[in-house]
A and B are shown apart, each in its own frame.
Chain A
Amino acid sequence: MSETPILKVQGVSKRFGGVHALENVSLELYPGEVLALAGDNGAGKSTLIKIISGVLHPDEGTIWYSGSEVTFENPQKAREHGIETIYQDLALADNLDVGANVFLGREPLKRVLGFPVLDRKQMRTQAAGALRVLDIQIHRFDLPIRSLSGGQRQAVAIGRAIHWKAKILIMDEPTAALGVPEQRKVIALIKSLKQSGVGVIFISHNLVDIFAVSDRIVVLRRGVKAGERISTDTSSDEIVRLMVGG
């Protein structure tokens, strides 16, 4: 990991009123690396990823993308840099099909008799292609995705990020709402993302998942970085100690 980090967060602080949500937090993410962000509720994990994805703005500190300093005014700006965030609720429109969800907000058009018309066929084909890369089986692309399972929906959200050439993928508790077989499938998805050179920031409460997939673990406690460990050099016990203090 001698190359430049794809993402560098340096000395970021964020206050809400008198509350220090984040205090001088720094981290680095390299291409093809999975960084787990661990911490108890209220540790500042969500605030940190919201700052990285452009939802919130830091009071102090800087964000560097591929070696140059950046300011994201809004999530679109972050997305233009290839930073995609998958929230716990997945941000999918259940009433639309897979293709429409992958292309949500960026629908391709074709011309029919001079009129611009949604190119649904292209949306479906390309969505199918993105999901094939992830080794996900979805048989019907023309049905609303409310008929899909939790894991399949997660895959649609990941597929969307991949299709739009995410360089950095932030995942907030991606396994929390899933059954065990589907959790395994999502872990496998993250591993395949890593192989394709995407940098993944992975928030989880689940230490088993964290150790299964991450290269490094950053632990936050009450807005402060409590520690950073290489996953193979640490243990669950140590991470828990860092999370709760003491």
Chain B
Amino acid sequence: MNSIPLEEAIAGRLGWSGSLRYWLASARAWIFLIVLVVGFEVWAHFAYHTSFVLNPFNAQSIAVFAVGPLLLALGQTFVVISGGIDLSVGFTMGFAAVVFSKILNLTRDSLGESGSLIVAATVALAASAIPGLINGLLIARLRIPPFIGTLGMYGVARGIAYLLAGGTTVPISNSIVSFVGNGTFLGIPMTVLITIVLTAGMMYLLSQSRFGQHTYAIGGNRQASLRAGINVSRNTVALYILSALTAGIGGILYSARFSAGAAQAGEPLLLDSIAAVVIGGASLFGGSGTITGTIIGALIIAIIQYGLVFVNVEPFWQFVAVGIVIIISVLVDQTQKQLSGARLDE
């Protein structure tokens, strides 16, 4: 009945190469990040005789690139930890971007710049919560598999966003919104600052609140959570609303950055958000993951995207690269599961 600490037990059972593999699997996000940064750094030195990450312009660009994937990945992290997945985030973001831009234009004359911003942001967030609420109800109450429920919502949100926008982009003009989208504060882009604040809030919610703890519990053992008196159904609905809300904020920031709302705003970001989450160490089987991991995951994606532009590679390679990184991450996660799933005692 003596328990052995997990790491030692793994080392004892799996031997040197096994424990190395386990360690590599746990640290995969950091390793990816370091390899990428070093790779681009070396390239920059030889090709341009300059630094890649130490160049403030590059660092700032990477941070701005990371905002979109990270915002969508924040909510996605919660959903994945609970054992679900949200495929609708990209078009929820586009939907929010279109609603925000439409309302901003509609209320500009009557409410002025700040008034219309507040109203448009509130309405856009409320509107983006709707697909989340429906996702949550379908999954929690009607027990539709998350993959299918949110795939359906992907289509619905996409169609409605295009219908609202009339099949085109909705240009906006509001100086406060432009400042939020493209201005800086103390040299840091406003979109990055907003994302940092939001990320800190999500970190608190996931690691320190009962809601976060229950998210892990539901992903680890749904039945046990039910029996422990956790309101699994309400929790699940809240998770998908949260995911839709972070996508909604992403949509508002997109409109601010590009001075226009577009239905396809978040289209490429679905893949990016899932990639950030799984590269960051969350398991698609549920039960594990952290916001810190997701931040690293989003940075990795941003570095791949910006780095490929930096080294003058055809930008479409980024999709290939991100796709490969997702597959590798999930493979590594499965290996880790096999390594740690074995009983280690007696």
28 sample A-B contacts, Cβ–Cβ < 8 Å, listed by A number: A76-B229, A89-B223, A93-B221, A93-B224, A93-B225, A93-B287, A95-B220, A95-B288, A96-B217, A105-B229, A107-B210, A107-B213, A115-B204, A115-B208, A118-B209, A118-B213, A136-B1, A137-B3, A138-B3, A139-B2, A140-B3, A143-B6, A147-B5, A147-B9, A149-B343, A149-B345, A152-B3, A181-B1
Cβ-based interface call for B340 (8 A):
yes
Residues of A within 8 A of B230 (CB): 104-105
Cβ-based interface call for B186 (8 A):
no
| Residue positions of B touching A, CB distance < 8 A | 1-3, 5-6, 9, 204, 208-210, 213-214, 216-217, 219-221, 223-225, 227-230, 287-288, 340-341, 343-346
Q: 8 Å CB contacts to B: which residues of A142-167?
A: 143-144, 146-152
Residues of A within 8 A of B341 (CB): 146
Cβ-based interface call for A87 (8 A):
yes
Could you tell me the distance in whole angstroms from the C-beta of B197 to the nearest C-beta in chain A?
Answer: 15
Cross-chain contact of B346 among A96, A104, A117, A149 (Cβ < 8 A): A149
Q: Which residue of B lies closest to A143 (CB)?
A: B6
Q: Are A91 and B229 in contact (CB under 8 A)?
A: no
Pick from A137, A149, A179 the residue with the most CB of B within 10 Å.
Answer: A149
Q: Are B228 and A91 in contact (CB under 8 A)?
A: yes
**A92-B224, A93-B225, A149-B345 known, 16 other contacts, Cβ within 8 Å:** A91-B227, A93-B216, A95-B219, A96-B217, A96-B220, A105-B217, A105-B228, A109-B210, A118-B208, A138-B3, A139-B3, A147-B3, A151-B1, A181-B1, A182-B1, A185-B1
Cβ-based interface call for A116 (8 A):
yes
Cross-chain contact of A147 among B6, B213, B214, B227 (Cβ < 8 A): B6
* Overall SS of chain A's interface: loop
Cβ-based interface call for A59 (8 A):
no
Contact with B along A92-121 (1 / 0, CB 8 A): 111110001000111101000001111000
Given known A-B contacts A75-B229, A105-B225, A118-B209, A149 and B3 have beta carbons under 8 A apart: yes
Cβ-based interface call for A79 (8 A):
yes
Residues of A within 8 A of B3 (CB): 137-140, 147-149, 152
Q: Are B225 and A95 in contact (CB under 8 A)?
A: no
Q: Are B224 and A79 in contact (CB under 8 A)?
A: no
Q: Are A146 and B340 in contact (CB under 8 A)?
A: yes
Given known A-B contacts A79-B229, A104-B228, A148-B345, A95 and B287 have beta carbons under 8 A apart: yes
Could you tell me the distance in whole angstroms from the C-beta of A192 to the nearest C-beta in chain B?
Answer: 15
Docked CA distance A138–B5 (Å)? 10
Could you tell me the distance in whole angstroms from the C-beta of B14 to the nearest C-beta in chain A?
Answer: 13
Docked CA distance A116–B216 (Å)? 18
Could you tell me the distance in whole angstroms from the C-beta of A55 to the nearest C-beta in chain B?
Answer: 9
Docked CA distance A100–B1 (Å)? 21
Cross-chain contact of B213 among A91, A100, A138 (Cβ < 8 A): A100
Docked CA distance A137–B228 (Å)? 24
Q: Are A106 and B2 in contact (CB under 8 A)?
A: no
Could you tell me the distance in whole angstroms from the C-beta of B97 to the nearest C-beta in chain A?
Answer: 32
Docked CA distance A100–B345 (Å)? 21
Residues of A within 8 A of B228 (CB): 91, 104-106
Q: Which residue of B lies closest to A92 (CB)?
A: B224
Residues of B within 8 A of A92 (CB): 221, 224
Residues of A within 8 A of B210 (CB): 107, 109, 118
Could you tell me the distance in whole angstroms from the C-beta of B76 to the nearest C-beta in chain A?
Answer: 18
Q: Which residue of A lies closest to B231 (CB)?
A: A105
Residues of B within 8 A of A179 (CB): 346
Could you tell me the distance in whole angstroms from the C-beta of A80 to the nearest C-beta in chain B?
Answer: 10
Q: Are A75 and B1 in contact (CB under 8 A)?
A: no
**Top 4 A-B residue pairs of the complex, sorted by shortest distance between their CB atoms:** A149-B345, A105-B228, A93-B220, A95-B220
Residues of B within 8 A of A144 (CB): 6
Q: Are B346 and A140 in contact (CB under 8 A)?
A: no
Q: Are B217 and A104 in contact (CB under 8 A)?
A: yes
Q: Which residue of B lies closest to A87 (CB)?
A: B227
Q: 8 Å CB contacts to B: which residues of A185-220?
A: 185
Could you tell me the distance in whole angstroms from the C-beta of B291 to the nearest C-beta in chain A?
Answer: 15
Residues of B within 8 A of A100 (CB): 213, 216-217
Docked CA distance A94–B224 (Å)? 10
Docked CA distance A104–B346 (Å)? 26
Given known A-B contacts A91-B221, A109-B210, A96 and B1 have beta carbons under 8 A apart: no
Q: Are B221 and A94 in contact (CB under 8 A)?
A: yes
Residues of B within 8 A of A94 (CB): 220-221, 287
Docked CA distance A185–B105 (Å)? 71
Q: Are B204 and A139 in contact (CB under 8 A)?
A: no
Q: Are A96 and B216 in contact (CB under 8 A)?
A: yes
Could you tell me the distance in whole angstroms from the C-beta of A164 to the nearest C-beta in chain B?
Answer: 10
Pick from B210, B340, B344 the residue with the most CB of A within 10 Å.
Answer: B210
Residues of A within 8 A of B227 (CB): 75, 85, 87, 91
Q: Which residue of A lies closest to B212 (CB)?
A: A118
Q: Are A95 and B216 in contact (CB under 8 A)?
A: yes
Could you tell me the distance in whole angstroms from the C-beta of B2 to the nearest C-beta in chain A?
Answer: 6
Docked CA distance A118–B210 (Å)? 7
Docked CA distance A89–B225 (Å)? 13
Docked CA distance A89–B228 (Å)? 13
Could you tell me the distance in whole angstroms from the C-beta of A199 to the nearest C-beta in chain B?
Answer: 20
